[in-house]
Structure formats: structure tokens, C-alpha cells
């Protein structure tokens, strides 16, 4: 009713709605449907779910086998757990590195802030794939870092770094750090410096003032940054494929292998659905937290 | 409530000693060689226009700025090496700086938690101080759920709960509206009397300084220009700056006609008659002098006065009726305008003045202040 008088508002809400409906919800439903189908050797490689028999009876066949398979083969559980672990550790590392950086930028002189922020965003100017490839050159056994350490006589034999979990951490932390820094900066920049003076005045050492004043107030930024790193990191495909080991797969790799190598679309779809459900939990926590923050601000 | 159990120094030394303190930012001296003594239990006001260095001086006492030179002593202890979080000094910030993510209770408890006071003791002291500022029923509120006056009281409680030796207040009433200010002023005085804490207040508002302070230090360009009780500052300004800054005043320039130990007579170009002042002055005979006469100390007449001194003649230019007072702008024959205020003692003044009416002004020999600085 109200929208009839505000065609602009209708358009501004309607366009993203249609976009999400067509390009997110619809594909999701298709994937959901495939995940309950039976895999067959055909084109497309799955059995239809809905079938009209000659007597005009609709038969719906839902296979739970794909999901059951995920729980019977340890490969999937391992890949899920490994992905969550890698994403969680990477998020923690991003926070540990990103927080001081964001704080440093937020407390720098205003003129210098924009330069520092530019430097944070600068890597985006080069292709993501290229930057991950470059890390192979840095980390491999006869790569730049090993050669430098050998030349300095700090090590006798090259350290094996590439194709390990370590190199996956390096790749993810390196790639996702800006997504941690930017929301943190946006939050920290708004902090009132007199609050820290007040804390000091009331007897809090700089460290205690940080724990008691800066950290709790930075929480929305911490959560936003953590979500922006954790969620894509769980499903990360490129970095573990290029830098990770072949023995330990992340779920993104498993997903793509199922689709393209095994051509088992139903199992691949089931993997995708379970991954989505897994990521739903942190997203919901984030939503609820945001809601509370909004209510508090109102 | 006792302020603290710390041993008191001999009565000869002041509680707060500011000794030749300067603070320079680059070439600019925000505070320039200030020396000041503040007594225990006093409310001392630093009064001055913005940029006069009063806030910098306060921040040095709090420990947020370090003096470029000079010493700060509190109760005999040199504060130089003491970081802000170890100083027995608390500050009430102009913006109040309440922690937005904490309730009233937690805000007030914060300072005690840093001292590792026992939980039961914290609750007792927080309750006690919130009772004094009358905020006990809003314990669980967050700062954004409070009114300006309530925030001010929480800020005061938070600073006082630590029982500081010295409480610094930066424009304590600046953020309150006029009605609330008057009420809060007296409340602040009551609380100070009750707790006996020494207050140092920074303000640009002379009314605030006048009502709160036991003594005022007027600052200008980083220096203390006069220290005295509110009455001394108002009635006996030592410099032309102080005379002009505090209250409204009519300033004239003149030179000595007669210089006796107990009175002087000064001739002013703007005034038809000499000004007789009932105190002496130590000035060379040819010195340029300033004379200040407060608007409320001038009387307005229709008839010419019978005295030879202390009068002027002019025309009423403007009359502003302010309720309790009426403000007259009177143009002298020399063209100078003089401000005169008359108390509206009765509803129908028998002497009724109108615009453009020729009038005569007189004042006592005790009223004008004369100086050289």
C-alpha cells in the first residue's frame, strides 16, 4: 500500500529481491532437489525426482542415500572438520594480525589514514589467482624464502612449506586479511578517545583499558570481520588446491571433485547442502547479534 | 566521609602546588610559567576564554599532558613520574566520557575494580555514592538511556567513588541547560561540602565560576592573571583584562590629576568631570590609567548633580527591560556609550526614563577601580 506511493522504494527493494530469488534461491532449490536424487550415468547424471506415470499418478522419489553416504565415508567428515578447523584458525590469525593493524590505522593521523587504508586494499588490484600462485614461488623448496635462508646459512636444508596446512594458512590469512581489517577499522575509527583517558583516569593501565573499553566496543567489528573471513574460508577452493596437500582435502575441493571428477552430482549437491547448513549457524549468530545491536542503538 | 588516610603535610605547604609550570606545543606556550597553590578542601576555579590554557593545566594535573618545565605536587608528592592511572586524582570530563557499553552501576564500579577492591566493598561504595548523587533507581540503565543531567551525576559519582585526593572538573555544567545548571551548581556544592574533596574546576563561564568557587584563578594567554575570591575578582580586578573579562564594565582611559596616599583623582577625555577614587595607586605621574565602573554601581538622575567629581552627562539611547533589571545604554557627550543597570525594585518606578531623555550619571568614590596594567 505504502509502496504504491513510493515507486522508488519498491524498485530499490524489489531489484535485489528478484536478484536473490533468481540467482540464489532458485539454484539452491535445484541443488536441494538434485541432492535427493539418485545418481545415474546419463545426461544430466541424476534420475528425475518427479515422474508422471501413464495413469497420471505423480511419483516422487527422494533418495536419502546421498546424505547417508556422507556420514558413512570418513572422507567427508574429515574434509568438513578440516575445513572448519582451517577456517577457524585462519580467522583467529587474521584477527590477531588484523586487530593491531586496524587499531594502528584508526589511531594514525587523519591524513595518513587514507594512505594506510589504500595499502590494505592495494593487493586487490592484482588477480587473486596470481597472488596465490606467487606464494608457491615464495614458499616452495627452492623458492625465495628457502633460498634466502640457505644463503644466510640459517638453515642447512630447505624447509618444506608448500603443500602443507601451514601454506594453506599463509594463503588464507594473506588473502582474507583485508576483510578482517576493513570492518574492524570502520568500528575502531568511531571510538571516542576520551573514553580511554577516562579509563586511565580511573586507574586502568593501558592493557586493562584495552580489555575493558576498546575490545567490548570493537565486538561488532570483530564479529563482522570474523564472519567475512570464516564463511568464505570454509568453502575455499583455490587456496587449498594450489597451496594445500593432496592428502588433506578441504570441503570445497571435495565438492568440486564430486562434481567434475566423479560426476556424482547428487552427492556433490548433498555436500553443498550440508556445508550451507554448517555455515548457517554462524550467520544466524551474527544476525542475532546485529539485531541486538540495532535495538540497543534505537 | 574522610578523603583518604594519607599523612598530611605541614600546614605551611599548600595541598596542590603548581610551581613554574609551562607547557609548550612547538613554539606555542599553552601554559606559561604558572605558579599556583590550592588548599585542601577548596573549590578552585580556573576561569578564562577558550584557548587560555586552563584545560591544558587541568590535563597536566590529571597526567594526560606532561609539563615542559616546572613541578606539580599533590599533598607533597611530585606527580611528574606518576602515570594517570596511578594518580590519586580523578577527572570529570566535559563530555562525561561514560562507557557506553556499561550500565550506570558498572561505570561507577569500574574505577574500584581497577584497584582490586573486594566485590562486597565495591557494591557498598557504589551504592553509597549513587545515593549521594541520587541515582540509585537507575542502576541498570545504559548511558544512552539517561538524560543530560543524569549522565552528569553518573560521571560525578564515577569520579568520586575512588575518593580522590583531587577532583578535576572540566566544564562540569557546560552540557546542561540553564534551569538544570542552577540546580546542579548547588548540588555540586553540597556534595563537595559533604565529602570534603578538593575540586579544581575549569570553566569559561564566569557565572559558574562565581557560584562554585572559593577562589578563582583567571587565565589569559597561558598565564594566571589574577587569583582571588569571586568578590575580589569582581570588585577589585587587578588588570584591565580581568576587569573587562569578568562581568560587564565601563572602561575609561585617563591620566592622574591628583595622587594622594588615600585617594586619587583621574581625568578622562570621555568624561566631563574628574573621577575621584577612594584608594591610592602606585603609578608614575604621567602613566596611562584605566578606570572601570560596573554598570550596577552607576546611578541615573534627571537633575544635574551637586558634586564636582564622579559624574557624567548623556542621552538615553536604549532601554532593555530584563525583568529584575533594566539595562540602559547612555551616550555621553563625548560619544562614548555607557552601560547602566538599575534594579527594578518596584513595579511602577517613580523615576521613569524614556529614550532620548537627557540624564546625569553619578557614582561613589568607592565604586571605580583604577589600574595601570
pLDDT tens profile A227-259: 999 999 998 999 999 999 888 888 888 888 888
Q: What are the phi and psi torsion angles at B254 (to 5°)?
A: -160, -175
**How close, in Å, is residue B188 to chain A by CA atoms?**
20
Chain B residues near any Cβ of chain A (below 8 Å):
62-64, 83-87, 89-91, 93, 95, 97-101, 110-111, 114-115, 142, 158-159, 162
- Mean local confidence (pLDDT), A169-173: 96
pLDDT tens figures, B158-185? 999 999 999 999 998 887 888 888 888 8
- Mean local confidence (pLDDT), B237-265: 89
pLDDT tens figures, B16-62? 999 999 999 999 999 999 999 999 999 999 999 988 999 999 999 99
Counting runs of H as helices and runs of E as strands, what totals does chain B give?
8, 20
Contact B52, B219 (CB under 8 A): yes
Closest residue on chain B to A203 (Cα): B85
The reply to whether residue A194 touches residue B93, judged by beta carbons under 8 angstroms, is yes
pTM of the model: 0.80
pLDDT tens figures, B110-131? 999 998 889 999 999 999 999 9
- Mean local confidence (pLDDT), B332-345: 90
The reply to whether residue B85 touches residue A212, judged by beta carbons under 8 angstroms, is no
Report how far residue B259's alpha carbon sits from residue B308's, in angstroms, rounded to the nearest whole number. Answer: 17
The reply to whether residue B111 touches residue A203, judged by beta carbons under 8 angstroms, is yes
Within chain A, strands assigned E span 50-52, 58-60
Measure CB to CB from residue A201 to each of B91, B95, B99 and give the nearest one: B91
Chain A CB contacts of B63 below 8 Å: 200-201
Q: Cα B320 from chain centroid?
A: 27
Counting runs of H as helices and runs of E as strands, what totals does chain A give?
15, 2
Measure CB to CB from residue A197 to each of B64, B115, B158 and give the nearest one: B64
- Mean local confidence (pLDDT), A209-215: 95
**How close, in Å, is residue B312 to chain A by CA atoms?**
54
Burial profile A84-107: b = 16 or more Cβ within 10 angstroms, e = fewer? bebbebbbebbbeebbebbbebbe
Optimal mutation site among A201, A209, A220, A297, interface B, most CBs of chain B within 10 A:
A201
Amino acid at each position: 500500500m505504502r509502496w504504491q506511493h513510493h515507486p522508488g522504494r519498491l524498485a530499490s527493494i524489489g531489484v535485489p529481491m528478484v536478484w536473490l530469488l533468481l540467482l540464489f534461491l532458485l539454484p539452491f532449490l535445484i541443488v536441494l532437489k538434485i541432492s535427493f536424487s539418485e545418481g545415474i550415468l546419463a545426461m544430466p547424471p541424476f534420475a528425475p525426482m518427479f515422474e508422471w506415470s501413464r495413469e497420471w499418478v505423480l511419483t516422487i522419489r527422494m533418495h536419502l542415500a546421498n546424505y547417508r553416504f556422507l556420514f558413512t565415508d570418513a572422507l567427508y567428515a574429515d574434509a568438513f572438520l578440516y575445513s572448519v578447523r582451517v577456517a577457524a584458525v585462519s580467522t583467529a590469525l587474521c584477527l590477531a594480525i588484523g586487530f593491531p593493524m586496524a587499531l594502528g590505522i584508526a589511531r594514525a593521523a587523519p591524513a595518513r589514514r587514507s594512505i594506510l587504508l589504500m595499502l590494505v586494499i592495494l593487493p586487490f588490484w592484482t588477480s587473486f589467482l596470481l597472488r596465490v600462485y606467487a606464494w608457491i614461488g615464495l614458499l616452495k623448496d627452492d623458492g625465495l624464502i628457502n633460498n634466502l635462508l640457505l644463503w644466510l646459512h640459517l638453515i642447512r636444508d630447505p624447509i618444506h612449506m608448500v603443500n602443507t596446512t601451514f601454506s594453506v594458512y599463509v594463503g588464507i590469512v594473506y588473502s582474507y586479511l583485508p576483510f578482517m581489517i576493513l570492518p574492524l577499522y570502520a568500528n575502531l575509527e568511531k571510538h571516542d578517545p576520551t573514553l580511554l583517558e577516562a579509563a586511565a583516569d580511573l586507574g586502568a593501565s593501558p592493557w586493562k583499558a584495552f580489555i575493558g573499553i576498546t575490545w567490548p566496543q570493537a565486538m561488532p567489528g570483530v564479529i563482522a570481520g570474523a564472519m567475512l573471513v570464516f564463511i568464505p574460508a570454509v568453502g575455499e577452493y583455490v587456496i587449498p588446491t594450489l597451496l594445500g596437500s593432496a592428502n588433506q582435502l578441504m570441503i570445497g575441493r571435495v565438492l568440486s571433485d564430486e562434481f567434475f571428477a566423479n560426476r556424482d552430482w547428487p552427492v556433490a549437491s548433498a555436500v553443498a547442502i550440508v556445508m550451507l547448513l554448517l555455515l548457517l549457524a554462524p550467520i544466524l549468530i551474527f544476525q542475532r547479534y546485529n539485531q541486538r545491536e540495532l535495538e540497543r542503538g534505537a | 566521609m574522610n578523603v583518604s588516610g594519607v599523612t598530611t603535610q605541614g600546614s605551611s605547604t599548600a595541598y596542590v602546588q603548581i610551581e613554574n609550570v609551562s607547557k609548550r606545543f612547538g613554539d606555542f606556550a599553552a601554559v606559561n610559567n604558572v605558579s599556583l597553590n590550592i588548599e585542601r578542601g577548596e573549590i578552585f576555579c580556573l576561569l578564562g576564554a577558550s584557548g587560555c590554557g586552563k584545560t591544558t593545566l587541568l590535563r597536566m594535573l590529571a597526567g594526560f599532558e606532561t609539563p615542559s618545565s616546572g613541578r606539580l605536587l599533590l599533598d607533597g608528592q611530585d606527580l611528574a613520574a606518576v602515570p594517570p592511572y596511578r594518580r590519586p586524582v580523578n577527572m570529570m570530563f566535559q563530555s562525561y566520557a561514560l562507557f557506553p557499553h556499561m550500565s550506570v552501576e558498572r561505570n561507577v564500579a569500574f574505577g574500584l575494580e581497577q584497584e582490586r577492591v573486594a566485590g562486597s566493598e565495591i557494591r557498598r561504595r557504589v551504592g553509597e555514592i549513587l545515593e549521594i548523587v541520587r541515582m540509585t533507581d537507575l542502576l541498570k540503565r545504559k548511558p544512552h538511556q539517561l538524560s543530560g543531567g543524569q549522565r552528569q551525576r553518573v560521571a560525578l559519582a564515577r569520579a568520586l567513588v575512588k575518593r580522590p585526593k583531587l577532583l578535576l572538573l572540566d566544564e562540569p555544567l557546560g552540557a546542561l541547560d540553564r534551569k538544570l545548571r542552577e540546580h546542579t551548581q548547588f548540588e555540586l556544592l553540597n556534595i563537595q561540602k559533604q565529602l570534603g574533596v578538593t575540586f579544581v574546576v575549569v570553566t569559561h563561564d564566569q557565572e559558574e565560576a562565581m557560584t562554585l568557587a572559593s577562589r578563582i584563578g583567571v587565565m589569559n594567554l597561558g598565564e594566571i592573571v589574577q587569583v582571588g575570591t569571586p568578590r575580589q575578582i569582581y570588585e577589585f580586578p587587578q588588570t584591565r583584562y580581568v576587569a573587562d573579562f569578568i562581568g560587564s564594565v565601563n572602561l575609561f582611559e585617563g591620566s592622574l590629576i591628583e595622587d594622594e596616599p588615600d585617594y586619587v583623582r583621574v581625568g578622562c577625555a570621555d568624561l566631563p568631570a574628574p573621577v575621584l577614587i577612594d584608594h591610592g595607586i602606585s603609578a608614575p605621574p604621567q602613566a596611562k590609567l584605566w578606570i572601570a565602573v560596573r554598570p550596577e554601581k552607576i546611578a541615573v538622575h534627571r537633575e544635574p548633580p551637586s558634586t564636582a567629581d564622579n559624574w557624567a552627562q548623556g542621552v538615553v539611547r536604549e532601554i532593555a527591560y530584563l525583568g529584575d533589571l533594566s539595562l540602559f545604554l547612555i551616550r555621553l557627550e563625548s560619544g562614548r556609550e555607557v552601560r547602566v543597570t538599575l534594579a527594578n525594585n518596584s513595579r511602577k518606578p517613580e523615576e521613569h526614563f524614556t529614550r532620548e531623555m537627557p540624564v546625569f550619571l553619578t557614582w561613589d568614590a568607592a565604586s571605580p577601580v583604577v589600574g595601570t596594567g
